[in-house]
A and B are shown apart, each in its own frame.
Chain A
Amino acid sequence: MPVAERAHAARGALDALWAALRYCYPLLLVLLLWELVARAGLVRPLFLPTVTTVLEQFWVLLFEGEIVAPLLVSLYRAFAGLALAVVFGVFAGLWMARSKWAHWALDPLVSLGFPAPKIAFVPIFILWFGIDHLSKILLVAFTCVFPMIVATYHGAAAVSRTVIWSAEAMGTSERKLLSRIIFPAAQPYIFSGVRVTVPVALIIAFTAEMIAGGGGVGAALMFAQRFFQTPTVFVYILVMLATGLVLDLVILRLRHWLIPWDDEAV
């Protein structure tokens, strides 16, 4: 590589770093303020440990396997529930858009179930499915299925009538119509639905663990709080924050890769 080009590349990297730093400066400022307040002894360490203590605690917990294992448990619950919700939601949404009977039967149930705070069902799900994986997975599915139905329905209902009529006029069967036209056309909506629902799935999995215990990051967080291990509490909160952020980025990338023809920025 010629020197000039190398210098150019280096400057490009430096510019990128500078841009990232400029984007992140409010976050760094908040962390700095936090560190200063905690160091100055304005509050008791029990209430607000220093950032450095929290980071040290993060390393300790990481090497003890206290972060990866509970995180995997929580992620498994969130994604198993989400997968169920996507499958059921897409089927129900497509069905509602194509059949007036399905619409009649499901519409009032969806409009009643959508605004209901599903987290209140935790005691019932514990009663029916125990406190281990199953109750949490099903609660996540139960919560996520409503936004998935609505997203799919809107996507399928938004398919232009003329496209459907043309396909029908050419003798396309209902099944082909669904798989070749309506489902692909509804995909961007379905994907937006998934993007909206992933954080919901995480929230429900974490929260159900916080309420009912049974392993996972939520349960670990509550456990730390009960024993006043404030640095550990902060570590788990930051882990939840990072998980949400990383997943959102992954989903955006996935969307770009799966449906490159749709550049909608919802």
Chain B
Amino acid sequence: MITTHEVTKRFGHVAAVRAVSLDVREGDRYGLLGPNGSGKSTLVRMLLGLVYATSGSISVLGEPIPRHAGRVLPSIGALIEEPAAYPHLSGRANLRLLDAAGPASPRRTRRRRVDEALEQVGLAGIDRRPVRAYSLGMRQRLGLAAALVRRPRLLILDEPTNGLDPRGIRDIRDLLISLNESGTTIFLSSHLLTEVAALCTRVGVLDSGRLVLQDDLPSLQRPTGRVLISTLDPERAVATLDGQVEQRSGENLVVRAADPAALNARLVGAGVRVRSLVQQRRTLEDVVLEVTGAGSDQFGVADSPTADSPAPPHQDPQSPPRPDPPSPPRPDPPSRPRPDPPPSQPDPPPPHPDIS
């Protein structure tokens, strides 16, 4: 759907995009990651024929861009950085106006298509108030609706969840997944790792204008060969798994084990009460931090759910494990007549025995 070959864009002496060769396949949900200023927006604008490449070639839906942009753009819905609309008109009027401005939009279906697009993004009941009075989230939804009015084959979305609250982000993610399942290819750029990890099937990473990584998400998130265990009997677990434990922090262990099922069987056999057992996978954050290096602090680590994951998985297995944090040894909680939880599921902390 989108192929670029060694695309470079210079603004004066600054190279915003350097020799990027994208490959977005039909049916992909492609996430382009990169910190602010890494060239994502410039690349998106080049795909839409708004910015002309200094060198290299771009092909979208099989047509060269920008030469035949007019042929393919009607089948593309785009959100380019922030949404924009005429502030004195209503959202509906804005969508109709934009639809009427370009080709391939039959007038007789316009009203229906606009209403459907508004409904898809959750603005079906919107009144006639001008866009000026819209909240940030409503504007974002309106921008997405504008991209959907012509039922495009390809959606190119720059930061689609900007300004949305958690529910809005969830709504849009569900919408994009359902559109994708009905055949729409989705290309989105974001600096939010969690968004891309939750939505995309394929990931590209831009760093200072270079595409430093492009791969399917499942293969990026392959297991690290470690298992994270939370147990009520850490001492016994360490004794059982002698040598395999790489790290211990209170009741949490990082264990080197290729087969989590076998490990679990072994622990249960030794009478170790396992609270949870999770196969550790490389997180997208780890992958991205690994390939982007110095500028990576701009990704906003706080956005990642794995910010407090116990060990960096790309750490060399031969290297010594990190020392335990200097915490006083905690006494085991008093045993209670309570069955062990199923191992691979996280469990809420046990209620304190004195209360209740």
Chains A and B form a bound pair: no
